[in-house]
Amino acid sequence: MTQETIFGRILSGEIPCDEVYSDKHCLAFRDIQPQAPVHILIIPRKNIHKLSDATEQDQELLGHLLLVASKVAHQEGLEDWRTVINSGEKAGQTVFHLHIHVLGGRVLQWPPG
């Protein structure tokens, strides 16, 4: 069962999203508060609270999520993009369901924050 977060509610269909990709392992959709012209979130269907909670059994899923990030970036016409995974509150994670941000469409500065 998916923990009750906004992402869990999106996965259950309770909250709609602007979907850009979906398969049996994950869902990708546009962020409602984009930080770049292209800002996609990729969430696993399996509830993993944060990256540091992933186990060796999640290895294949984690690799799949990164491949989907690349696929979605190309689908969105990006040549260059940034992927971000915040793990924990002090790292900026606000929704405690593992997710990958795909950001692009402008020059991204470093360091990010």
Kindly report the number of other CB atoms within 10 A of residue 76's CB atom: 19
Give the chain's mean pLDDT.
95
Res. 91: pLDDT tops 60: yes
Give the DSSP H or E segment for 69: helix 59-75
Res. 67: pLDDT tops 60: yes
pTM value > 0.75: yes
Note whether residue 42 is domain-resident. Answer: yes
58: DSSP letter: G
Res. 3: pLDDT tops 60: no
Note whether residue 112 is domain-resident. Answer: no
Task: State the average pLDDT over residues 103-111.
Answer: 94
Note whether residue 113 is domain-resident. Answer: no
**pLDDT of res. 2:** 44
Res. 113: pLDDT tops 70: no
**Number of structural domains in the chain:** 1
Give the DSSP H or E segment for 64: helix 59-75
What CATH code is carried by the domain that includes residue 33? 3.30.428.10
CA–CA distance, 107 with 64 (Å, rounded to integer): 26
* Residues identified as active-site: 99
CB 99 within 8 A of CB 85: yes
Q: How far is CA 44 from CA 27, 96, 106, in A?
A: 6, 12, 26
Note whether residue 29 is domain-resident. Answer: yes
